[in-house]
A and B are shown apart, each in its own frame.
Chain A
Amino acid sequence: MASSRMPTAEKSALSPMRDDAVLQLPLPPQLLQRGRCPFDPPEALDRMRAQSAVSPVMLRNGRTAWVVTGFDQARAVLSDPRFSADRLRHGSLLSDVSDELRKQLLDERLRAGSFISMDPPEHSRYRKLVTGAFTVRRMRQLTPRIAEIVTEHIDAMLATGTSADLVSAFALPVPSLVICELLGVPYTARREFQHRSAMILRLDTPIEDFLRLRQQLRQFMQHLVAHKRSEPGDDLLSELVHSDAEPALTDDELVSIANLLLIAGHETTANMLALGIFALLEHPDQLHTLRADPSLINGAVEELLRYLSIVHIGLTRVALEPVTISGHEIPAGATVLISVPETNRDPQHWSNPGCLDLTRPRRPHLAFGHGVHQCLGQQLARVEMTVGFTQLLQRLPGLRLAIPSQDVPLRSDMLIFGVHALPVRWDDLRLPR
């Protein structure tokens, strides 16, 4: 596929060759700016959807991208094989990047196994190798251990007093420990990957820094793959290293797969847990409803996934050929951005979509995506949230923010939305009556 040539997209004077370029689509700032409510998507996106479910927008580099805000249109794009998930190879994202950086970003050896950006049939081979480890049944088997981890972390919070930062004390360590145990990554080595994966998920990390961080993460994982080869454990990475896949998985592939699962496994659920509690605290009626009837938890998790849509920038696809969606002709090579928050609030699909309603009937949402790339770890995330929210509400009576809500630091600067910290307090159960 030749690099993209969009209607307005000849190399723009606005985009000189820069090596401090980032790997993100240069969206107009209005499409990134949230209003007063921290849970609502940018108003500019709402206005776009009110006009059309698919809208061309001019990017900051003068190129055009198509933003999908309609639910049905988003599902259509995400299940259409004419759209590729390989945005680096097919899109215009790297058009303004130096040859040297582009070469490193497209290095076949380093991309091998990174199936999140592959299309079928290549994608299917890798996905099927790991899907067996994330089935509903396997997650049910993991549930007691997840509950134990959640309990231990709340015990530790209770032991230290009546206040904590929910992010550092609970929301980040719980899913991080769970994915480490599942994969077979020593949690004691978390300093090797937690900070680096967080840096990679910043919206403003320059490509040069991204490449360096990627290399460091790969070196760490390479050592671990070598270790699992000689001393396999009862974990997913050992299973993959010793799998009978045909052809056998190379070390490059194993390193990419493992890092993908490790990064995806803790940044996402971590943010749902913290932002979910923030949202519940800001909607006391909903919090009360859930406390009064804990059996609502499964529906509550789905509604929080929909309402919060933490993949807030959206999902990117590239048209491999001209495609018409809702009357809009999208040319070959064009980038399409599916706005997950907007599609999850499409009034054609949801009644009163801007309202958090934990009793809402379960319908499909796009929080985990759609099509062949729908989140591999979604059943794990569901268990972590179900157990996590339930225990937090049960065991921390009077849970409340310890700072004014407008002072909670939002992750508007990150690929995954959430809060950087959530200072909370709860009632002291140890006080004599």
Chain B
Amino acid sequence: MNIHVDPTVCIGAGHCALRAPAVFDQSQHDGTVIVLDTQPDTEHQADVQAAVELCPSGAIWVSFAP
């Protein structure tokens, strides 16, 4: 699982940092998304998927290495 984010569209709602704190944080400056772990373990997969679904701005997406 590879995490991709676009901080320029992020509005800092914080769902990702709340749902998957091992994978996402927020910039202290403007609250936008920071990825702590671009290739999280499978144990975080469900939370990452929930974060993608909850994100109001479409700032997060996930790809899977072949």
Give me the interface of A with B, judged by CB distance under 8 Å: 78-79, 124, 127-129, 131-137, 362-364, 368-372, 374-376, 378-379, 382
* A137 close to B56 (CB less than 8 A): no
Could you say which of A79, A134, A371 contacts B31, with CB atoms under 8 Å apart?
A134
Q: A90 CA to B54 CA in the complex, in Å?
A: 29
Could you say which of B17, B28, B54, B58 contacts A132, with CB atoms under 8 Å apart?
B28
Could you say which of B12, B17, B27, B57 contacts A79, with CB atoms under 8 Å apart?
B57
By beta carbon, the residue of chain B nearest A139 is B14
Say yes or no: is B36 at the interface (Cβ < 8 Å to chain A): no
By beta carbon, the residue of chain A nearest B24 is A136
By beta carbon, the residue of chain B nearest A370 is B56
Q: A364 CA to B51 CA in the complex, in Å?
A: 10
Q: A267 CA to B57 CA in the complex, in Å?
A: 25
Chain A residues within 8 Å of B21, by CB: 136
Q: 1/0 per position for B1-31, CB-CB distance to A under 8 A?
A: 0000000000111100110010001111111
Say yes or no: is B53 at the interface (Cβ < 8 Å to chain A): yes
Contact A137/B26 with A131-B12, A131-B31 known, Cβ cut-off 8 Å: yes
Q: A372 CA to B54 CA in the complex, in Å?
A: 13
* B56 close to A131 (CB less than 8 A): no
* B32 close to A371 (CB less than 8 A): no
* A372 close to B56 (CB less than 8 A): yes
* B32 close to A131 (CB less than 8 A): yes
* B32 close to A79 (CB less than 8 A): no
Q: A45 CA to B26 CA in the complex, in Å?
A: 38
* B28 close to A364 (CB less than 8 A): no
Q: A136 CA to B23 CA in the complex, in Å?
A: 14
Q: Chain B at the A interface: mostly helix, strand, loop or mixed? A: loop
Given contacts A368-B13, A374-B11, 20 further A-B contacts (CB under 8 A): A79-B58, A127-B11, A128-B31, A128-B32, A131-B12, A132-B28, A134-B31, A135-B14, A135-B17, A135-B27, A136-B17, A136-B21, A136-B26, A362-B50, A369-B56, A370-B56, A371-B56, A371-B57, A372-B57, A374-B56
Give me the interface of B with A, judged by CB distance under 8 Å: 11-14, 17-18, 21, 25-32, 50, 53-54, 56-58
Contact A128/B25 with A364-B54, A370-B56 known, Cβ cut-off 8 Å: no
Q: Shortest 8 CB-CB distances between A and B: which pairs? A: A131-B31, A131-B12, A374-B56, A135-B26, A128-B30, A136-B17, A136-B14, A135-B31
Closest CB of chain A to B47's CB: distance in Å? 11
18 contacts between A and B (CB under 8 A): A78-B56, A79-B56, A79-B57, A128-B30, A128-B31, A132-B12, A132-B30, A135-B27, A135-B28, A136-B21, A137-B26, A362-B50, A369-B56, A370-B56, A374-B13, A374-B57, A375-B13, A379-B14
Closest CB of chain B to A213's CB: distance in Å? 29
Q: A362 CA to B31 CA in the complex, in Å?
A: 23
Contact A378/B14 with A132-B30, A136-B26 known, Cβ cut-off 8 Å: yes
Closest CB of chain B to A246's CB: distance in Å? 14
Q: A131 CA to B17 CA in the complex, in Å?
A: 14
Pick the most buried of A78, A128, A364, A375: most chain B CB atoms within 10 A of its CB: A128
Closest CB of chain B to A128's CB: distance in Å? 4
* A134 close to B12 (CB less than 8 A): yes
Q: A372 CA to B57 CA in the complex, in Å?
A: 6
* A132 close to B27 (CB less than 8 A): yes
* A135 close to B12 (CB less than 8 A): yes
Closest CB of chain A to B37's CB: distance in Å? 16
